[in-house]
Amino acid sequence: MATQTLPEAKAASATIPTAVDVRLLGLRKSYGDVVAVDGVDLEIAPGEFFTLLGPSGSGKTTTLRLIAGFERPDVGRIELSGVDVTARAPYERDVNTVFQDYALFPHMTVAERKPDQLSGGQRQRIALARALVNAPKVLLLDEPLGALDLKLRQEMQIELKRIQRDVSEVGITFVYVTHDQEEALTMSDRLAVFNDGRIEQLGTPAEVYEHPATEFVAGFVGISNVLERDGRRFTVRPEKIQMHFDGDGDGGGEPGRIRDVVYVGMFTRYIVELESGGELTVVRQNLETSSADALESRGRRVRLEWRPEHTFDMERPGGHE
Ligand SMILES: Nc1ncnc2c1ncn2[C@@H]1O[C@H](COP(=O)(O)OP(=O)(O)O)[C@@H](O)[C@H]1O
Ligand SMILES: [Mg+2]
């Protein structure tokens, strides 16, 4: 299991919850030559908001469909509240599903209004209300906000989280699928990062973001920033790096040159080539910097400094399991 690859101290809060609502044991599912889910072990506690995060094609939907019973695993077992449901039909499982688009049937009306006359947000609120009305033990959500524009998506994230907090008192567990790292970090109690049908890392948002266990996780959840120094491979997050322009400060830190500048309004992203090899992305809030200032710094010589406690050792690529 992927949790075993975590350093011991960090694995503590990612370890198995005492009460288990959803348990997946050695799940494997292939379609022809494609292994969609490749040995997934997972335990989710009652009332938990648990997210399956990963790029397109990494096996998230298949895992969800296996839990729902729309698919049968080739190998492995699915338990709900300690009961083996692997061979049970979807309607024999205490589980409801909310999909991205087709949660409402086009011919059905909500108080005389057809679904296509409702906004995306209204449609998903109704889909969610319907999925919750018979109080399932587990609610499965497959990219439910994926079709909404950014502003509405952010509003719905907060609303969904509030609903989950309210209903979690009656014990509804949310298993949420998204490819959006920010969404996963915002909403989840814990998350599993999927890559190629496997769980690459499992933990709380802070654990996964601050202590990415593999290079894949470091790059998928946030900006990767991997450096190699003295035979050590490590990552340091962009917001933990201080950037001094030449002549500033005490002259400490690693020298480099700003290769590229991306102005993002609230902040600016600087891509810095280091003299000792490698490249780091640095993020700076635009406290006093205008876009013109930021863009003019391209090509300038800088020194980058970070604290040792903000660096984390990486496994070798492909080193998991
Ligand atoms: N019904 C299917 N038939 C064939 N291949 C499938 C089917 N469902 C999923 N796959 C394949 O399995 C892999 C995982 O898919 P999926 O679980 O949908 O990933 P995700 O939801 O993370 O995008 C992909 O390579 C996908 O093409
Ligand atoms: Mg999917």
One-letter amino acid of 99: F
- Ion ligand 2 contact residues with beta carbon within 5 A: 61
For residue 115, name the pLDDT band (cuts at 50, 70, 90). low
CA dist 79 and 21 (Å) reads: 8
- What digits encode the pLDDT tens for the residues 85-109? 999 999 999 999 887 764 444 444 5
Atom of ligand 1 at shortest distance to CA of 63?
17
Q: Is 55 in the pocket of ligand 1 (CB under 6 A)?
A: no
Atom of ligand 1 at shortest distance to CA of 59?
17
Asked whether residue 315 carries a pLDDT value surpassing 70, the answer given is no
What token pair was written down for 91?
């309607």
Q: Is 201 in the pocket of ligand 1 (CB under 6 A)?
A: no
Q: Is 225 in the pocket of ligand 1 (CB under 6 A)?
A: no
**Minimal-distance CA residue to ligand 1 atom 24:** 57
Quote the ligand 1 centre to 110 CA distance (angstroms): 32
Predicted TM-score (pTM) of this structure: 0.82
What token pair was written down for 55?
């790029």
CA dist 230 and 100 (Å) reads: 47
In the chain, what are the domains?
A: 2-214 (3.40.50.300), 226-313 (2.40.50.140)
**Minimal-distance CA residue to ligand 1 atom 8:** 62
Quote the ligand 1 centre to 216 CA distance (angstroms): 20
CA dist 226 and 204 (Å) reads: 21
Range in 24-38, 113-127, 142-156 the model is least confident about: 113-127
pLDDT the model gives residue 91: 93
One-letter amino acid of 151: K
Q: Is 52 in the pocket of ligand 1 (CB under 6 A)?
A: no
Q: In the Cβ-directed half-sphere of 250, how many Cα atoms lie within 13 Å? A: 3
Q: Is 314 in the pocket of ligand 1 (CB under 6 A)?
A: no
Cβ atoms of 176 and 52 within 8 Å: the answer is yes
Asked whether residue 208 carries a pLDDT value surpassing 90, the answer given is yes
Quote the ligand 1 centre to 234 CA distance (angstroms): 32
Angle, CA 87 vertex, CA 83 and CA 91 arms, to 5°: 80
- Residues in contact with 204: Cβ distance below 8 Å, sequence separation at least 6, in sequence order: 13, 14, 188, 189, 190, 191
Cβ atoms of 49 and 161 within 8 Å: the answer is yes
For residue 13, name the pLDDT band (cuts at 50, 70, 90). very low
CA dist 170 and 34 (Å) reads: 39
CA dist 121 and 152 (Å) reads: 7
- Mean pLDDT for 261-287 is 93
| Closest by CA position to 6, among listed 222, 239, 321 | 321
What token pair was written down for 173?
């567990």
- Mean pLDDT for 259-273 is 93
Q: Is 61 in the pocket of ligand 1 (CB under 6 A)?
A: yes
